[in-house]
Amino acid sequence: MRPGAMSPGDPLVSTCKHQAPDSSQQISGLEEYSVALDNDEAAEIPEPSGPGPDQSRAIETEDGMWVLAEGLGEQGVEEGNQGAWNSGSFLVPYIIMLIVEGMPLLYLELAVGQRMRQGSIGAWRAISPYLSGVGVASVVVSFFLSMYYNVINAWAFWYLFHSFQDPLPWSVCPLNSNLTGYNEECEKASSTQYFWYRQTLNISPSIQDNGGVQWEPALCLILAWLVVYLCILRGTESTGKVVYFTALMPYCVLIIYLIRGLTLHGATNGLMYMFTPKMEQLANPKAWINAATQIFFSLGLGFGSLIAFASYNEPSNDCQKHAIIVSLINSSTSIFASIVTFSIYGFKATFNYETCLSKVILLLTNSFDLEDGFLTTSNLEQVKDYLASSYPSKYSEVLPHIRNCSLESELDTAVQGTGLAFIVYTEAIKNMEVSQLWSVLYFFMLLMLGIGSMLGNTAAILTPLTDSKVISRHLPKEAISGLVCLINCAIGMVFTMEAGNYWFDIFNDYAATLSLLLIVLVETVAVCYVYGLRRFESDLKAMTGRALSWYWKVMWAGVSPLLIVSLFLFYLSDYILTGTLQYQAWDASQGQLVTKDYPAYALAVIALLVASSAMCIPLVALGTFVSRRLKKGDTAPVA
Amino acid sequence: MLWLLFFLVTAIHAELCQPDAENAFKVRLSIRTALGDKAYVWDTNEEYLFKAMVAFSMRKVPNRERTEISHVLLCNVTQRVSFWFVVTDPSKTHTIPAVEVQSAIRMNRNRINNAFFLNDQTLEFLKIPSTLAPPTDPPVPIWIIIFGVIFCIVIVAIMLLVLSGIRQRRRKNTGPSEVDDIEDKCENTVTIENGIPCDPLDTKRGHANDAFMTEDERLTPL
């Protein structure tokens, strides 16, 4: 045993006073096992004879795991709000996908972590030395995620700081230069869109026009990284405590918003839209694909953080119960948040619909000099018919300007990308009373969710770094965290340029999606076929004392891999059918989004993103194979 | 004769004030939209007030101080309520140029609005754009102030944590060396006082305390 490493049986403990081993020593003790495993006997997994995690820490990490899952779930809610749920009939596919895909895969990851008792890299190395690339790929994906995700926090900070003004800056358009009217771009778009595209992002017309770094979002990004650094400074112990706060506080705000949202005028329209399943949308496979992807990301599968958290659990811990509870909490949070979202959505749609109607009424009243207040929403149709019949020529002049207002079309409008969280909600908030309060609450909640997710991500990156003895010998923990934050912040400055939002969309759409699917597929196949499902089952039974139900076996071995493969095939066919990849660019002259093709170098970046994490798996396998061959070659002549 | 003159005057008036006449402006009021239940009825008295307000605005223009209420002509009042008006010169034969009327109305828009409890949107002068109030910009944008406060708090917190971490590590660095020494010392059964290995102490000159010497037997040999 390494000198200095403590164990309860050590007689020195009772007489000579020492400091209790802290978690860093414990983790390095586990690291030793993974070093020992490299020597060929990967099949034999020694029982850790070091100090077992004490009960209190196990409980803390259990709860930490739950709040991590909730935090990731709320991140998934956020991502889900970013376009995956622009149809009202997502409930049915969501629940089915949860039962078929979410729970089994979550249970699998927790079981692997609890069984192998190591972080993601070590755990997969324990299953098979050729597969440690899976853990490396998870770390790479987490690295990409942390690079771009903090920009959302920067935007949330920006909106939060701007919420302390009366009136809210996104509720009124700025005036043009000679003070006779409003800014042209703002007139064509809406004031919330103008604030988002022009004053927050200062977006350029296409991805090629880079522009310079905008100092305001850059400042907010620096602040966001400082806050993240503050939380992870002390390592996993302090992160656990912060995660409690950042995961529970949004619940309070959500409840307040629920009460406010349900009492809004028009909220019931949104709720009815959410709960009525539309048969034709259910038949569309895209709804199922979206639900499956949504479950994936909201549960945080494939990031390695679940394995890392579960490795701190007691071996006899009932992880099946945990998996079910965590996924249920996660999905009920999502549904709860979506109720709030849809009630606010309904309010916004109703408000826009009524504004549209009053514009039509005003137009007709002015053109025909009708008495003010004569036209109301109830008699609008009759009066229109009467006018059409009595003054046909004048009516046909006015007709092109009359918009057809429809509540359905307002509810159906989908906003893509992160814009949803910022544009739709701010548009709804500006119409509420005491809008400053609601705005502050909402962006504070968004910040909590975002920072909670960032903590999980950075913990996933930092754990292997601080565990590796090479680095931790030279640099203290604070310096490693600081360096990681600094590098990510510097790279994140790319997203604060004028074209930054387009690069952000690239990262958002491609950095994590395909790679995570691949990682989880390899995980499932590895556990079921490489390690052996029967062997894993007997391990679990020996560890927890409970037999594995047939349902999990069927799911792990058959249904889930098939599902993931079909998701893959769908994405590939989608890409092949549409030919090239396209993106939405903001056209300032028209005041709306237009579709453009990605230039070649952007496509290259996309390919690099996907490949760099996916290629880890075969590359590391190849490397292990080669190094083993070399070692065998070295030892053969000696023997 | 008088009747003839009367007809002549009304004919001229009718010519001067017509929809789309030269120097005529259309006005549109939305009283019910603005006031709801407290809306007043638009009658000739209200028209008189309107004429008075326009005359008042014109009197503020240099060279036009002699404008009377009778110089303002209203016509084509509809149910909307909307009408056209012109301002004539004292001879009542010509109308005052539109530019002058426009600038006069723009200067006094607020007074006119307030007289009728309306605002720029509900009392519209078509073709006379209203001057929009510029938003008040504080000298330092508010968001920078809040940003600065939170930034300083975060920096201070980071400094505190880093410093306390460094201090803790310094304490721990002297600790493990004591641990190793203590291990050796325990094997060599040398006394320890307050964690300071006694080896550096000169045992010859130091005073060996018998009470502590007997503790050696409690140490189990490794």
Q: Report d(CA A460, CA A307) in Å as an integer.
A: 10
For the stretch B87-109, what's the b/e string if a residue is b when 16 or more beta carbons lie within 10 angstroms of its beta carbon? bbeeeeeebbebebbbebbeebb
Under 8 Å between Cβ of A227 and A439 = no
Whole-number pLDDT of residue B197? 60
CATH architecture of A53-625: Orthogonal Bundle (1.10)
Residue A466: both structure tokens together: 């601080």
CB of A20 less than 8 A from some CB of B = no
Q: Report d(CA A163, CA A430) in Å as an integer.
A: 10
Tens digits of per-residue pLDDT, B79-88? 888 888 888 8
What's the average model confidence in pLDDT over A368-375? 79
Residues of A in contact with B82 (CB under 8 A): 369
Confidence (pTM): 0.76
**Mind spelling out the 3-state secondary structure of A413-433?**
CCCCCCHHHHHHHHHHHHCCC
Question: Chain A residue closest to B182 (CA)?
Answer: A16
Provide the Cα torsion B55, B58, B59, B61; round to 10°: 180
For residue B35, which of B128, B113, B144 has the smallest C-alpha distance?
B113
**Alpha-carbon gap: B166 to the closest alpha carbon of chain A (Å):** 9
Which residue is listed with tokens 């997994």?
A: A45
What is the total residue count of chain B?
Answer: 222
Provide the Cα torsion A499, A504, A505, A510; round to 10°: 130
**Alpha-carbon gap: B217 to the closest alpha carbon of chain A (Å):** 12
Long-range contacts of A41-49, Cβ-Cβ distance < 8 Å, separation of 24 or more: A42/A125, A42/A126, A42/A128, A42/A129, A45/A116, A45/A126, A48/A117, A49/A7
Q: Report d(CA B196, CA B170) in Å as an integer.
A: 16
pLDDT averaged over every residue in chain A:
78
The fraction of chain A above a pLDDT of 90, given in percent, is 11
CB of A366 less than 8 A from some CB of B = yes
**Does ipTM come in above 0.95?**
no
**Cβ contacts of residue B219 below 8 Å, gap of 6+?**
A15, B186, B189
Angle at A570 between CA A566 and CA A572, to 5 degrees: 115
pLDDT at A75 over 70: no
Please, which residues bridge with residue A497 across strands?
A213
Which of left, alpha, beta for A518 (phi over 0: left; psi -120 to 50: alpha)?
alpha
Tens digits of per-residue pLDDT, A170-181? 988 888 777 777
Which H or E run contains A77? helix A55-79
Ordered by start, the domain boundaries in chain A are 53-625
Q: Is the dihedral of CA A331, A335, A337, A338 positive or negative?
A: positive
pLDDT category at B31 given cuts 50, 70, 90 is confident
Return the higher-pLDDT residue of B10 and A113: A113
Tens digits of per-residue pLDDT, A372-428? 777 888 888 888 888 888 888 888 888 887 878 888 887 776 555 566 678 888 888
Residue A16: both structure tokens together: 């000579």
Tens digits of per-residue pLDDT, A395-411? 888 888 787 888 888 77
Whole-number pLDDT of residue B16? 76
Whether cis (ω within 30° of 0) applies to the bond prior to B81 is yes
What's the average model confidence in pLDDT over B195-199? 60
For residue A342, which of A264, A242, A239 has the smallest C-alpha distance?
A264
Whole-number pLDDT of residue A53? 32
Nearest CB to A18 within list B161, B165, B179: B179
For residue A180, which of B71, B3, B133, B72 has the smallest C-alpha distance?
B133
pLDDT at A29 over 50: no
CB of B184 less than 8 A from some CB of A = no
pLDDT at B150 over 90: yes
Q: Report d(CA A262, CA A345) in Å as an integer.
A: 11
CB of B218 less than 8 A from some CB of A = yes
Tell me A399's DSSP state: G
CB of A162 less than 8 A from some CB of B = yes
pLDDT at A233 over 60: yes
Tens digits of per-residue pLDDT, A542-564? 888 888 888 888 888 888 889 88
Whole-number pLDDT of residue A298? 81
What's the average model confidence in pLDDT over A278-293? 76
pLDDT category at A440 given cuts 50, 70, 90 is very high
What's the average model confidence in pLDDT over A326-346? 85
Which residue is listed with tokens 């008699």?
A: A379
Q: How many CB atoms lie within 10 A of CB A229?
A: 22
Please judge whether B161 and A230 are an interchain contact, meaning their C-beta atoms are less than 8 angstroms apart: yes
